[in-house]
Chain A
Amino acid sequence: MFYNNGLPALWLIPALPALGALIIFIFASRMPARAAGIIACSAISLSFLWVLNVGTTLVLGNHHHFVEHHWNWIAAGPFQGSASFYFDLVTFAFTFVVAGVGLLIHLYSYSYMKGDAGERRYFGYFNLFAAAMLVLVTAENAFFMFLGWEGVGACSFFLIGHWYQKSENTVAATKAFLVTRLGDIFLLIGLFLTATLVGVSFSQQSAWTQVATSSFIPGFGGLTGPQLILITGICFLLGAAGKSAQVPLQVWLPDAMAGPTPVSALIHAATMVTAGVYLIARFHILFALSPNLMLAVAIVGVLTAFYGATSAFVQTDIKRILAYSTISQIGYMFLGLGVGAWSLAVFHFFTHAFYKALLFMAAGTVIHSLHNEQNIYNMGGLRTKLKGTYLAFLAGAASLAGIPFITAGFYSKDAILWNTLSTKWGSPVIYGIAMLTALMTAIYSFRLIFVVFHGTPRKDIHVHLPDRLLTWPLYILAFFAIVAGFLNLPIVFGVTPIWEHSFARVFGEWQAEPLIHSHAVEWMALLGSGVLALGGAGIAWLLYSPAKAPMPEPAGDIATVENNTPAPYKAVWANFLFHGWKMDGFYNKTFVRGFRITSGVIAWIDRVFVDGIFEAIQAIVRGFHALVIFFQNGRVSRYAMVMLFGAVAIITILLIGSQR
């Protein structure tokens, strides 16, 4: 049951947190509130241990992958989806983060959510989320993956709206759900195309090469193979963009910060939002077959990275800064995918999960200590009061900024940048934008450090110290945020990049190889991005150092979902960036209003014609009703009389029949 032919069973990985969620939901009203957290933490830690067990078996046994078939889930013509699990190095990376970082955030939540009215509900959904996310990354085929895909979406909705008593939180939850849902529709179309063209199992994906060469495929109205690949890929890209908050479906993530901070750390930074990266990495053969598709992914990635960095630059809410930074960093992952550096995109996901979860949780600790203060201009001088948190935050921010040689973020981001410059899918223009974005990333990362932790306290707020569960997960994550980068040291250091080397087994010939072999150029690129990061930190010091003149004190409140009112800056461009390039307003004016007008017209048609038909039917039914009610007046004698009448009628008919 737990071992098949000597190999550890994969189903246990998602089943353990699912069991935890089940227990919590069934016995919620009969258990003490704290017990829910204990159950959730035990479930996820068991799952994490099992992931380690499976992963070490995979790595030490030098296997390519494990497959575990359970039962046929969907079987309808070409739509063959089985409940099967798949475990290779990509899965290991994702499950390690989901269960490992998930475990730390669970422990953190245990302290963070203490005394919350919805504590049991919170932990139930948290465990359910972990289960769904683990299904997503361990599924053997795209349909089963879609189950997890929708599961994490639902849990994200529930957890963003955790404090549902405030209506703006539920609005934010609904917005997140609807926008990702828009992407999911495209994903489904892509899945259906995949199912008809090659089949949904991940082991069947090499069949795309045959699709790419065929000029006619029956049943698709004369579309050629390459065209179909492009359509499928665009659908997948839009689906991934919805889940991973990429341009043009990125508008939901900043508002999703309405949920509790650990939720933002786990779901909206480390795991769920990277599902799009996982999706494209899994379908890398499809994408690699079309240069246009790769260019689209790279452009979406770099645009999103730039968009996120510019918007993060002017935010005043600590969680929104991190949210925009998440959007930006996932943009880098997409850029990595778009230039064919699949393993490096996964690597950036790996390091990003550590330092972004760390930043969110450290931010949560700060917010917690300052009694739910989120505006960074009301903080300041926390360096001495929250020493441990400061150091952990510094490690995370340094990793985010990509401070050279000592941080994980440097190695993962620089590898993507180098591939952008050097592989066949890359281009110097995109490389330029990505470098500019790297500079801005460094600036806003250190802006956070200087404004929040340095200087003098701006408001006299009593700081109450966080307990051990609020700080120890930070230290562990800070450790990983520094050392995880050493898994993939650049080749110019004269060592083998372990990560890339191992993942070559998964991505094989599809992995893009650098076209530039000059070590000097690579050293220059490496040092260039290092200098940019340090330079960004220096610019941040010049702009925001505590010795400088007073901060640009924002006038308004933090942005709400409607996102129209507050304008904290005098400059128009700053406010434009503050509102995320006014994307919300633009979408409101075009899509939402357009939808309202269209639905108004349809509603009129519905009232006049459709309702008219049904009202006519209703009138007919009422007529029959009046007839029937004669027999159904509730008096037994009326029923008896009707029976008698029937008996007489039947005997008459029989008699007449026998006379013939």
Chain B
Amino acid sequence: MTLPINEALILSCILFSIGVLGVVVRRNIIYVLMCIEIMMNAAGLAFVAASARHGSLDGQAFFLFVLPVAAAEVAIGLAIALLIFQRYKTLDLWVVARTKEA
């Protein structure tokens, strides 16, 4: 029985690229944050695939380290999003960039 390691790596690449694309093209901060999550998840997937390939559990352990990073990032990112919405009444990053603070 062979594990689909190469295929899993390619899948992780595809997911990562989609995430990057989302970060670049979306203007809503919530979407941007979600796309960052996608990128992190793709990286995690690559870790797990690498773990399977080398027959070592280290990769899986590192996936577990990706998790708290993602969680902390979401906590702070969403707090910032809320703050932005409070102050500018919008989540559009372009609009925020246009608005000069006094």
List residues of chain B with CB within 8 A of the CB of A640.
20, 23-24, 32
Q: CA A636 – CA B24 in complex, angstroms? A: 8
B97 engages A641 (CB within 8 Å): no
A640 to B27, CA, bound (A): 12
The reply on B93 being an interface residue by CB < 8 A is yes
**Bound CA–CA A644/B97 (angstroms):** 20
Q: Is B26 part of the binding interface, using a Cβ–Cβ cutoff of 8 Å? A: yes
- B-contact 0/1 string along A638-650, CB 8 Å cutoff: 0011001000000
Whether a CB of chain B sits under 8 angstroms from the CB of A468 is no
A-chain residues with CB within 8 Å of residue B62 when the two chains form the complex: none
Is A634 an interface residue when CB atoms closer than 8 A count as contact? yes
Question: With the chains together, A641 CA to B98 CA distance in Å?
Answer: 18
The verdict on A660 contacting chain B, using a C-beta distance below 8 Å, is: no
Q: Can you name the residue of chain B whose Cβ is closest to the Cβ of A648? A: B20
Contact indicator A634/B97 (Cβ below 8 Å): yes
Q: Does A633 contact B (CB under 8 A)?
A: yes
8 A Cβ contacts from B52-87 to A: none
Give 1 or 0 for each of A317-328: 1 = CB within 8 Å of chain B CB.
Answer: 000000000000
> Closest residue of chain B to A634, judged by CB?
B97
Bound-state CA distance A644–B35 (Å) is: 14
Q: Measured between C-beta atoms, what is the minimum distance from A641 to chain B in Å?
A: 5
- Chain A residues with Cβ below 8 Å from B1 are none
Given the complex of chains A and B, what is the CA–CA distance between A418 and B98 in angstroms? 87
Does residue B94 face the partner (Cβ distance < 8 Å to A)? Answer: yes
Q: Once the chains bind, are B97 and A635 in contact (CB under 8 Å)?
A: yes
Partner of B93 from A635, A641, A644 at Cβ < 8 Å: A635
In the bound complex, CA of A644 to CA of B98 (Å): 23
With the chains together, A635 CA to B97 CA distance in Å?
Answer: 6
Task: Report Cα–Cα, A216/B32, bound state, in Å.
Answer: 81
In the complex, B3 has a CB within 8 A of chain A: no
- CB of A5 within 8 Å of the partner chain: no
In whole angstroms, how far apart are the Cα atoms of A548 and B94 in the complex? 93
Known: A636-B32, A637-B25, A637-B26. A644 touches B94 (CB 8 A): no
Q: How far does the Cβ of B101 sit from chain A's closest Cβ, in whole Å?
A: 11
Q: How far is the CA of A637 from the CA of B26 in the complex (A)?
A: 8
The contact string, 1 if C-beta is below 8 Å from chain A, for chain B 13-26, is 00000001001111
B27 contacts across to A, CB distance below 8 A: 637
Is A636 touching B93 in the complex (CB atoms < 8 A)?
Answer: yes
Q: Cβ of B94 and Cβ of A641 under 8 Å apart?
A: no
Question: What's the least CB distance linking B96 to chain A, in Å?
Answer: 8
Main SS class of interface, B: helix
Rounded to whole angstroms, the CA-CA distance of A636 and B30 in the bound complex is 13
CA A636 – CA B97 in complex, angstroms? 8
**Beta-carbon nearest neighbor of B97 in chain A:** A634
Task: Write the chain B residue with the least CB distance to A635.
Answer: B97
Total B residues in contact with A, Cβ cutoff 8 Å: 12
Q: Which residues of A contact B29 (CB under 8 A)?
A: 636
A644 with B20, Cβ < 8 A, contacts A635-B97, A636-B93, A637-B93 known: yes
Q: Which residues of B contact A633 (CB under 8 A)?
A: 97
Chain A residues with CB below 8 A from B93, complex form: 635-637
* Residue pair B20, A635 in contact (C-beta under 8 Å): no
Query: In the assembly, what is the distance between CA of A633 and CA of B94, in Å?
Result: 9
Q: List the B side residues contacting A641 at CB < 8 Å.
A: 24
Measured CB to CB, the nearest residue on chain B to A644 is B20
Cα A635 to Cα B98 in complex, Å, equals 8
Q: How far is the CA of A534 from the CA of B98 in the complex (A)?
A: 89
Q: How far, in Å, is A652 (CB) from chain B's closest CB? A: 15
B94: chain A residues at CB < 8 Å are: 635, 637
Chain B residue at minimum C-beta to C-beta distance from A645: B24
User: How far is B24's CA from A371's CA once the two chains are assembled, in angstroms?
Assistant: 79
* Alpha-carbon distance A644/B94, docked complex (angstroms): 19
Bound Cα distance from A135 to B32, whole angstroms? 66
Contacts of A635 in B (CB 8 A): 93-94, 97
Chain A residue with the shortest CB-CB distance to B95: A635
Smallest CB–CB gap between B22 and chain A, Å?
Answer: 10
Q: How far is the CA of A399 from the CA of B24 in the complex (A)?
A: 91
Residue from A640, A641, A644 with most neighbouring chain B CB atoms (10 Å): A640
Taken residue by residue from 296 to 326, chain A's Cβ proximity to chain B (1 for < 8 Å, 0 otherwise) reads as 0000000000000000000000000000000
Contact residues in A for B25 (Cβ distance below 8 Å): 637
Interface string of A612-635 (1 = CB under 8 A from B): 000000000000000000000111
Interchain CA distance A635-B25 in the complex, whole Å: 11
Over the window 22-51 of chain B, the binary record of Cβ atoms lying under 8 Å from chain A Cβ atoms (1 yes, 0 no) is 011111010010000000000000000000
CA A241 to CA B89, docked complex, whole Å: 71
Max chain A Cβ within 10 angstroms of own Cβ: one of B25, B26, B29, B94: B94
Residue of A nearest to B17 (CB): A644
Shortest Cβ distance from residue B37 to the other chain A in the assembled complex, whole angstroms? 15
Least distance between A644 CB and chain B CB atoms (Å): 6
When chains A and B are docked, how far (Å) is the Cα of A633 from the Cα of B98?
A: 9
Nearest Cβ distance between residue B75 and chain A, in whole angstroms?
A: 19
Task: Return chain B residues, CB-CB under 8 Å to A636.
Answer: 29, 32, 93, 97
B93 to chain A, nearest CB (A): 5
How many angstroms from the CA of A33 to the CA of B20 in the assembled complex? 67
Binary contact readout A598-618 vs B (1 if CB under 8 angstroms, 0 otherwise): 000000000000000000000
Note all chain A residues with C-beta closer than 8 A to B23. 637, 640
Bound form: Cα–Cα A191–B20 in Å? 68
- Complex-state Cα separation, A636 to B31, whole angstroms: 12
**B33 to chain A: closest CB distance in Å?**
11
Residues of B within 8 A of A634 (CB): 97-98
Q: Shortest CB–CB separation between residue B98 and chain A, in angstroms?
A: 8
Q: How far is the CB of B12 from chain A (nearest CB, A)?
A: 15
**A361 to B27 Cα, complex, angstroms:** 78
Kindly report which residue of chain B lies nearest to residue A636, judged by CB atoms. B93
- Complexed CA–CA distance, A635 and B93 (Å): 6
How far is A146 from B29 in the complex, measured between Cα atoms in Å? Answer: 63
Whose C-beta in chain B lies nearest to the C-beta of A642? Answer: B24
Determine the chain A residues whose CB is within 8 A of the CB of B97 once the complex forms: 633-636
With a cutoff of 8 Å between Cβ atoms, the chain A residues found around residue B24 in the complex are 637, 640-641, 644
Q: What A residues does B98 contact at CB under 8 A?
A: 634
**A633 to B55, alpha carbons, bound, how many Å?**
47
Closest 6 CB pairs of A and B: A634-B97, A635-B97, A640-B23, A641-B24, A636-B93, A640-B24
Q: Chain A: residues with CB nearer than 8 A to chain B?
A: 633-637, 640-641, 644
Please name 10 pairs of A and B residues whose Cβ atoms are closer than 8 Å in the assembled complex, sorted by A.
A633-B97, A634-B98, A635-B93, A635-B97, A637-B23, A637-B24, A637-B25, A637-B32, A637-B94, A640-B20
Known A637-B27, A637-B32; 13 more pairs at CB < 8 Å: A634-B97, A634-B98, A635-B94, A635-B97, A636-B29, A636-B32, A636-B97, A637-B24, A637-B26, A637-B93, A637-B94, A640-B23, A641-B24
